[in-house]
């Protein structure tokens, strides 16, 4: 249903329904961020290796770095750091 659905359903302003929907939204966001953060750590580790990574891998890492820029404020910092690391390799 989501937050918008919860707000639309609460014409009577039921706070329990809205709180439940908001907590589900927060939980889903955290479940999406955890694998993304693990992928970021793996890509950072592999970019720090002394071997030259393939060009395709660098392009994929750059794409995901641009996606990280949208997670303001922490993701923006992480994305900039990874882009700087990609440009130095």
Total number of domains constituting the chain: 1
Q: What is the mean pLDDT of the chain?
A: 77
What is the C-alpha to C-alpha distance for residues 41 and 50, in angstroms, rounded to an integer? 17
Q: Could you tell me the residue range of the domain that residue 37 belongs to?
A: 2-88
In the predicted model, what is the mean pLDDT of residues 61-72?
Answer: 82
Peptide bond into 19 cis (omega under 30): no
Measured CA to CA in angstroms, residue 41 lies from 6, 54, 64, 79 at distances of 35, 18, 12, 12
Give which of 36, 38, 27 is closest to 69, Cα–Cα. Answer: 36
Band of residue 80 on the pLDDT scale cut at 50, 70, 90: confident
Band of residue 10 on the pLDDT scale cut at 50, 70, 90: low
Is pLDDT at 71 greater than 70 in this prediction? Answer: yes
Query: The pTM is what?
Result: 0.52
What is the C-alpha to C-alpha distance for residues 23 and 30, in angstroms, rounded to an integer? 11
């Amino acid at each position: 249903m989501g937050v918008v659905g919860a707000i639309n359903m609460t014409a009577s302003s039921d706070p329990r329904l809205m709180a439940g929907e908001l907590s589900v939204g927060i939980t889903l966001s955290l479940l999406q961020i955890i694998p993304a953060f693990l992928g970021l750590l793996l890509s950072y580790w592999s970019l720090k290796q002394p071997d030259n990574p393939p060009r395709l891998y660098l392009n994929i890492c750059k794409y995901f770095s641009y996606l990280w820029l949208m997670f303001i404020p922490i993701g923006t910092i992480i994305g900039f750091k990874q882009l700087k690391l990609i440009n130095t390799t």
